[in-house]
Amino acid sequence: MKRMAIHPIEYRYGTDEMKAVWSEETRLEKLLSVESALARAEADTGLFPAEDAGVIAEKVGAVTLARVNEIEDEIQHDVMALVLAIAEQCGDSGKWVHFGATSNDILDTATALQIRDAISILREKLNRLLDVLVRQADAHKQTVCAGRTHGQIGVPTTYGMRFALWACEIDRHIDRLDQLSPRLVVGKIGGAVGTQASFGENGVVIQQKTMEYLGIGSVEIANQIVQRDRHAEFVMWMANTATTLDKICTAVRNLQRSEIAEISEGFGKKQVGSSTMPHKRNPIKSEQVCGLARIVRAMVEPELLNNTLWDERDLTNSSSERIIFPEASVLTDHLINLTTRIITNLRFYPENIKRNLDLLKGLNMAESVMILLAEHIGRQEAHSIVRECSIAAHEGGRHLLDVLLERDAVTAHLDADEIAAAMDPYQYIGTAVEQVEAVVTRLRTRSRSPTKKF
């Protein structure tokens, strides 16, 4: 029977490199690596001859996914199927395969190897996005635009500020990834309930040596499994990162609205916006980011629940993690890629940026006038006067400058040129340029190498 693709990850979302990390073939490769490393560690401590460990290390490469699956169909146990598939390749040395280990010694340690590879990909992609945001921040550090709070136009800001803000957030996510990696990328060799009784007095050394061969960290203590608070931290990190991407793309979508139209996603020459409205240019990439971010966030609760297992462990975490780890990783990687493309190809519309900056007929510059007037009469009185003028301008559909010039309480302290200068939005961006330049300099000069390699 021909295999049918069902999940959109199979044919619509995700990169080949991240999908490869979580493929059946890679999973088998990691499991075999752990069994081989375990055999070598056990031989090092004298549990069995080094020659047998050498045979196991050599023969694991002959094990096929098809054979493991065939055995599993018969015995209904995935790890024992793996063990038997290795043992049948190893002759008499096969009796030492998986010696003293429990299934999750192999499974959880293999998962750590897969997560290590996933982290490497995610970190590289985040650095690319960071670079794009930094370039946009630098390019638009003096692109003055309307700031908005509560969906209403406020005092001016710059597009450089927005990009720098997002860049710093992505930078923090990279820091968080570096910080959680040593806690996450760890394996265990503890036996049935973690006491290492099956390894005799060599349990601690066997665990340490196994992880050294694999190049990852070792748990300090565990029961039958690596504790899932570690994995929950990783899933929450992906949800947090996806939420930042959601925030960025929500801003793009909002600023692309017809009545705002300051920026837009790039639009291909042959791209179709609507099946019925030929004029449409929809922000479909940003909408996809926002939509899929919901799925990544939805993985947090089940992974948190995977830490609340019975006693030394039960099996309720296993089935959900077969979905959570690959799906969250593939989608997060996809969202980072997509957001990078969106930011790289953004189109800016200066005429609309200026139009919106002037849309309120000077009302958005009321604070600037108030601050200047306050130097003469105090902040509270100045606020009251400028507020009254703002209400009058709004209700009368007039420019705030004209109303201010009619008020003796204002003109007694400020002349027309001073008021007009105070209402110039391009001169009221404070230290915006300075702040952006500081962010750009820091992020361009900061070392992006991981704090620790695994």
R_g of the chain computed on alpha carbons: 30
Q: Which of 36, 93, 98, 150 is catalytic?
A: 150
Residue type, 448: R
Q: Judge residue 243's burial from the number of C-beta atoms within 10 Å of its C-beta, 0-12 exposed, 13-18 middle, 19 or more buried.
A: middle
User: Count of H helices and E strands in the chain?
Assistant: 20, 6
Contacts (Cβ under 8 Å, ≥6 apart) of 133 = 163, 164, 166, 167, 170, 343
Whether 266 and 258 have beta carbons less than 8 Å apart is answered as no
- Secondary element (H or E) of residue 264: strand 263-264
Q: What's the token pair of residue 390?
A: 């703002």
Length of the chain: 454
Whether 380 and 170 have beta carbons less than 8 Å apart is answered as no
Contacts (Cβ under 8 Å, ≥6 apart) of 300 = 232, 235, 236, 239
Q: Which residues of 140-152 are buried (b: 16+ CB within 10 A; e: fewer)?
A: bbebbbbbbeeee
**Is 23 in the active site?**
no
Tell me which long-range contacts 256-264 makes (C-beta under 8 A, separation of at least 24).
Answer: 256/281, 256/283, 256/286, 260/352, 260/356, 261/349, 261/352, 262/145, 262/348, 262/349, 262/352, 262/353, 262/356, 263/159, 263/346, 263/347, 263/348, 263/349, 264/346, 264/347, 264/349
Which residue has 């923090």 as its token pair? 172
Q: Which of 7, 77, 274, 384 is catalytic?
A: 274
Which residue has 């959900």 as its token pair? 320
Q: How far is CA 390 from the centre of its chain?
A: 43
Whether 38 and 206 have beta carbons less than 8 Å apart is answered as yes
**Is 274 in the active site?**
yes
Residues labelled as active-site residues: 150, 274
